[in-house]
Amino acid sequence: MLLALITGAGASYFYLTGMRSENKIYDKIGGYFLIAQTAAISVASLILLLALVTSNFKIEYVAQYTDLALPMAYKLSAFWAGQAGSLLFWALLLVLFAIVEMVRLRNSDSRYKSSVLFVISVSSSFFLILTCFVTNPFAELGFTPQDGVGMNPLLQNPGMIYHPPTLFLGYAGFTVPLGHAIASMMTGDGSNLWVKESRGWAIFTWVFLTIGIVLGGQWAYVELGWGGYWAWDPVENASLLPWITGTAYLHSALIYEQRNKLKIWTHTLLMTSFILCIFGTFLTRSGVIDSVHSFGKSSLGAFFVVFMIVSTIAYAIVLFSNIKLYKDPEEKDFHFSSREGMFFIANWLFLGLMVVVLVGTTMPLISQAYYAVMGVFGVVGNKLTVNIPYFNKVSTPFFILILLFAGLAPMAQYGKEIGESFYKKIIPGVIAALASMVIMYVKGYTLPIPLILTGVTTLSLATIITRIAISIKNNGPKVVLTQRRHYGGLLVHIGVVIMAYGIIASSFYNIKDEHVVAPGESFTFGNYEMQVGELTVNQGQNFTSVYAPVTVTENGKKIVTVAPERRFYEKREEAWAEVAIYSKLKGDLYFILASYSKPENYIGIQVVYEPLLVWLWIGCGIMCIGAFYTVTGRRKNA
């Protein structure tokens, strides 16, 4: 890793020199150093993986996160399960991204290319500094224990294999568009070239961040055993924050590319997203905020704070020194009711949403700092925290408005105020929205917030479908294939509203109940009859489990038998719940083995009904398909 750091520093130096010079030799030498850095990090990563799979417990990281009985898949995933390994993994991703860009930009202007690669190599070197001098994954214990401590049971889930890597791909990915943004400024190019060049990376980043967040929710849903998927936990929020601004950035970049507007917004949102990725890592690894997802207290926090401050100041200096490049000469022609105007309003909504979530997430830090200052004047108080009701209250108005604009913006035109044709086009959507609200109310779902949310969600869905129908009618079905970027974007919006239906239903109308019965007895839950069987013991590879089979019938017909369980890991004192889930399109039945006693002959089963929850995962899939569809049409449309 030290060699990787040295070569990374060499690459950064020569790319920095190349940014200031027309001489291509610096770019070429920087490339050699970058290749050497990539090779060194790759070798280090392979050595760590080898140590994990061969249980080399002399290495502290291996002993801390694995043991002899741990299944091989989790030994491999331990690479990113711990702090030091995940930072090395982040550095590995960055240098691999840099190699891709080095090849892809081989015929580009050398100063532009050097600028892009300088940003990535500096970022990767930062993470190598941490892994070399602060939290080294190869640090040795000084002795070799017979066995390791083993992985936290919460991490022994398939989610551990795919959730962190997708999230890290999203976090690390923002570095590449940032490099292109800085390259445009360093070369004095205020055109939309950098946006076009980095568009694929921006979408790649956004998609993997989306997948990472949703997979994290799915992981929490199946592993934490409380029946939910999102608890506004600080670390959950930390991943959501860059996604919010990253979504705004994608919309702003579209206007920059197609209308040459919102340039400063685009730069600002990109830098904000990058910083929020680092901020999320700071929250997770510094130990400043308590969370079930955090790595505990460490000395990493100061390094991340310095990196964020230096990066922000440097970017701001470069941006403001080139501010003339980004002034809009046609500012007077800007209409708030045009499509770009609605995107502009959406930017503010996304920014507002990010701020209220950020304030709530960092309230312990804010209150701690406040009382530290006011303590001088005799004002004392405890660290404050906010919980789920705060986040639900402050975020709901933003979600309503964002969903509304997601449906209205595609109906508006670029450069023109909305007129009679706009109102005619949204009439079907308004009718559908009102109809959905009336149906819900008649069915007994009378809570005002979900009624409003369902109304705007239906309005959005109906207007998107109307927009597609009108376009196909005027241009023929082939327009969906020839204008992939536009229709891919609409598909993303359809995915968003489908997710919204799942979130609304599962958040406001879930049903929970708990029954304690003797084995063989039954209980009723809604329209279902649940018969609980005998407790059974099962031996796994590194755990012993106790499960209770529950046979579910509906109208006398058996539909499924599930087996919620409690697992006992050899090196853990407490039992860990493993839930059982029966998923259908109309809703999930979620089972938890809450309690049991063989001597006293009872079993406690908690059941949760989560209506439409599966549509949350389906909507995410549609969003990602739509995003990738936009990329396939890039070159043709360009």
> What is the rounded CA–CA span in Å between residue 182 and residue 114?
10
Question: In which residue are the tokens 């109940």 written?
Answer: 513
> What is the rounded CA–CA span in Å between residue 336 and residue 183?
31
**DSSP characters over 319-350:** HHHTGGGG--TTGGG--TTSHHHHHHHHHHHH
- The whole-number pLDDT of residue 288 equals 67
> What is the rounded CA–CA span in Å between residue 366 and residue 360?
9
Partners of 583 in beta bridges: 588
User: What are the residues whose beta carbons fall under 8 Å from the beta carbon of 145, sequence distance 6 or more?
Assistant: 57, 63
User: What are the residues whose beta carbons fall under 8 Å from the beta carbon of 269, sequence distance 6 or more?
Assistant: 245, 246, 248, 249, 252, 347, 351
* Segments of the chain with pLDDT less than 50: 636-638
Question: In which residue are the tokens 């959950």 written?
Answer: 236
Q: Three-state DSSP class for 604?
A: strand
- The whole-number pLDDT of residue 634 equals 53
Nearest to 113 by CA among 186, 174, 169: 186
Q: In angstroms, what CA-CA distances link 249 with 49, 262, 336?
A: 36, 10, 18
- The whole-number pLDDT of residue 284 equals 78
**DSSP characters over 54-121:** TT-TTBHHHHHH--TTS-HHHHHHHHHHSHHHHHHHHHHHHHHHHHHHHHHTTTS-HHHHHHHHHHHH
Question: In which residue are the tokens 């998107």 written?
Answer: 464
> What is the rounded CA–CA span in Å between residue 431 and residue 452?
14
> What is the rounded CA–CA span in Å between residue 29 and residue 15?
8
Determine if residue 514 is left, alpha or beta; phi over 0 gives left, psi from -120 to 50 gives alpha, anything else beta. Answer: beta
**DSSP characters over 541-598:** SSEEEEE--EEEEETTEEEEEE--EEEEETT-SSEEEE-EEEEETTEEEEEEEEEEET
Q: How many CA atoms lie within 13 A of 231 on its CB side?
A: 16
CB-based contact 290:125 (threshold 8 Å): no
pTM, entire model: 0.92
CB-based contact 212:167 (threshold 8 Å): yes
> What is the rounded CA–CA span in Å between residue 484 and residue 492?
12
- The whole-number pLDDT of residue 638 equals 39
Q: Give 605's DSSP letter.
A: E
Percent of the chain that is helix, strand, coil (3-state, to 5): 65, 10, 25
Q: In angstroms, what CA-CA distances link 236 with 51, 130, 286?
A: 30, 23, 15
Partners of 253 in beta bridges: none
User: What are the residues whose beta carbons fall under 8 Å from the beta carbon of 568, sequence distance 6 or more?
Assistant: 543, 544, 545, 546, 575, 576
User: What are the residues whose beta carbons fall under 8 Å from the beta carbon of 154, sequence distance 6 or more?
Assistant: 223, 224, 292, 576
Q: Give 375's DSSP letter.
A: G
SS3 annotation, 279-323: HHHHHHHHCCCCCCCCCCCCCCHHHHHHHHHHHHHHHHHHHHHCH
How far is C-alpha 316 from the chain's CA centre?
26
- Backbone angles phi and psi of 582, in degrees to 5: -115, 110
What count of other Cβ atoms lies within 10 Å of the Cβ of residue 545? 19
CB-based contact 456:400 (threshold 8 Å): yes
CB-based contact 457:501 (threshold 8 Å): yes
